[in-house]
């Protein structure tokens, strides 16, 4: 995010539950450092790690500093830690040793808030999902969600439930002790500049909005491809899988950005209402249709370049007979006026050939009649490609005549990469979201109905897979199983090439 003409967020005490986890070290603290670097944090901000491992304030701050100094590559990397910026941030770093489910922990939290004298507090649940309900109940029982003397907000990381029933139960638990305006269900994909730019591009350019419907768009593809495997997350991933991990949150949020109706205003309630409507309009497949319109894959041993890669079942802490999917491809339909008849194809997987998150919007092809008596090939459909990562930008391909005496067509691309037009500081994707939480802007956070609509759309696939279907093998380093190509081939379509 740019700090140009942006005021610093108000002072508060930010409690990081699960302070010794990877999320805090790899993403949250670097994001807070970047916000401090840009002058977007109040000097009175206090950051308090909460975890069961004993540590002092200074020891916790020193551990974080050591990690930051070693961090010289990867997403959001900073090549040089500015001592002045870090010292300013480190002054407000503290640590609280405590059990998440013990009332004494929350008494100590209350004392920290009182000592900071702002009354404002944010509780960030960077913990295992099994603690979400317990922590929130304890916060409510201790009176820490009462906003009489300042704002109180809770940030909840994904996965937000594991199916529709568990998501509904978690929402009910949260809403027993606080109201919806205090809940920030976070999806870090929505913090990426290109994702936010989808709305700006659609609704500020008449050229796009005029053609953004089923009269001109043939289909939409949304891809989130990863080259990494499950790494150290084998135990978690084997009980989760690609569908639960990626679809009802990340991919459906991208779908909502593409397919939502224009909001009445760019306020949180208006934007989130339109997103909830479009997710709610996803056609609920029968179990038979869910099986027909989905593919599950699991990577086997393979290689990337010359590097040999183990198969999923050989990964640490994974069941050697696991049927958990590491790849999923789905076809979904949105039953509303704008999108009726337009299929949305979603795919995500691990150990694919390249790292790429993109939206490819395929427009209906031009009539061929003008070229039927020539040697020209049939014109290819035009694609608008919105790449979220790694090379953020937008590209539109079109047909042009190749120079020469014959009528031959060539596919050319028009577009821009963010890095070529804007000066972009290194970021993790969390900067905008943390700043919005500090300032009380919920536009980029999910509301309860959005979460539940997402799980409602996914539930038929979960139910169908529980009763039948097979996981399809694909070699690590490839772009999914053959069955995923067949899913589109049935509709006489092909996947847009990634990368």
486 is in an annotated binding site: no
- DSSP annotation string for 115-155: HHTS--EEEEE-S-GGGHHHHHHHHHHTTTT--TTS-EEEE
| Catalytic machinery residues | 250
What CA–CA distance (Å, rounded) separates 95 from 82?
23
Q: Name the phi and psi angles at 464, rounded to 5.
A: -65, -40
Which residues touch 499 (CB under 8 Å, ≥6 apart)?
353, 354, 356
- Determine if the peptide bond prior to 390 is cis (ω within 30°): yes
| Residue in this structure with the two tokens 């490609």, named with its chain if needed | 385
In terms of Cβ atoms closer than 10 Å to its own Cβ (0-12, 13-18, 19+), residue 337 is: exposed
3-state secondary structure at position 493: coil
158 is in an annotated binding site: yes
Walk across the sheet containing 356-363 and list its strands: 409-417, 393-401, 383-389, 356-363, 217-225, 343-349, 327-333, 294-300, 471-475
147 is in an annotated binding site: no
99 is in an annotated binding site: yes
Element (DSSP H or E) covering residue 359? strand 356-363
192 is in an annotated binding site: yes
In terms of Cβ atoms closer than 10 Å to its own Cβ (0-12, 13-18, 19+), residue 470 is: exposed
- Determine if the peptide bond prior to 159 is cis (ω within 30°): yes
385 is in an annotated binding site: no
65 is in an annotated binding site: no
51 is in an annotated binding site: no
Q: Binding site for NADP(+): residue ranges?
A: 99-100, 158
Q: Binding site: residue ranges?
A: 99-100, 158, 188, 192, 226, 245, 350
């Amino acid at each position: 995010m740019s700090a140009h003409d942006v005021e610093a967020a108000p002072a508060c005490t930010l409690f990081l539950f699960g302070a010794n986890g990877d999320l805090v070290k790899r993403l949250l603290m670097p994001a807070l450092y970047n916000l401090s670097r840009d002058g977007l944090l109040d000097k009175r901000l206090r950051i308090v790690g909460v975890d069961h491992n004993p540590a002092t304030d200074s020891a916790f701050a020193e551990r974080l500093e050591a990690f930051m100094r070693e961090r010289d590559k990867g997403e959001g990397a900073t090549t040089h830690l500015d001592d002045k910026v870090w010292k300013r941030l480190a002054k407000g770093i503290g640590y609280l040793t405590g059990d998440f489910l013990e009332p004494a922990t929350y008494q100590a939290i209350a004392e920290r808030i009182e000592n900071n004298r702002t009354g404002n507090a944010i509780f960030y649940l960077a913990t295992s999902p099994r603690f979400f309900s317990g922590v929130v109940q304890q916060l409510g029982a201790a009176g820490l969600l009462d906003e009489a003397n300042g704002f109180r907000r809770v940030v909840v990381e994904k996965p937000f439930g594991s199916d529709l029933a568990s998501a509904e139960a978690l929402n009910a638990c949260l809403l027993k002790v606080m109201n919806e305006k205090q809940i920030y269900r976070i999806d870090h994909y929505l913090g990426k500049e290109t994702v936010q730019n989808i709305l700006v591009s659609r609704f500020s350019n008449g050229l796009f909005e005029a053609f953004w419907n089923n009269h001109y768009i043939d289909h939409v593809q949304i891809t989130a491809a990863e080259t990494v495997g499950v790494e150290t997350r084998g135990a978690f991933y084997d009980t989760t899988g690609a569908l639960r991990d990626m679809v009802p949150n990340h991919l459906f949020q991208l779908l909502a950005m593409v397919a939502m109706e224009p909001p009445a205003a760019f306020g949180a309630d208006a934007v989130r209402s339109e997103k909830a409507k479009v997710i709610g309009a996803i056609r609920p497949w029968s179990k038979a249709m869910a099986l027909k319109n989905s593919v599950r894959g699991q990577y086997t041993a393979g290689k990337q370049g010359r590097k040999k890669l183990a198969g999923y079942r050989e990964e640490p802490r994974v069941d050697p007979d696991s049927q958990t999917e590491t790849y999923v491809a789905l076809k979904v339909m949105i039953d509303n006026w704008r999108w009726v008849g337009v299929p949305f194809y979603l795919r995500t997987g691990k150990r694919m050939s390249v790292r790429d998150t993109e939206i490819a919007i395929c427009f209906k092809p031009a009539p061929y009649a003008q070229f039927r008596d020539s040697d020209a090939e049939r014109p290819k459909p035009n694609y608008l490609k919105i790449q979220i990562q790694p090379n953020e930008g937008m590209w539109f391909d079109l047909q042009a005549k190749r120079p020469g005496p014959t009528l031959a067509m060539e596919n050319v691309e028009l577009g821009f990469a963010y890095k070529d037009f804007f000066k972009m500081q290194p970021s993790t994707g969390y900067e905008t979201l943390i700043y919005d939480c500090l300032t009380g802007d919920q536009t980029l956070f999910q509301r309860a109905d959005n979460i539940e609509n997402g799980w409602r759309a996914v539930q038929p696939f979960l139910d169908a897979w529980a009763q039948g279907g097979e996981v399809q093998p694909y070699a690590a380093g490839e772009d999914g199983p053959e069955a995923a190509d067949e899913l589109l081939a049935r509709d006489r379509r092909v996947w847009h090439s990634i990368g």
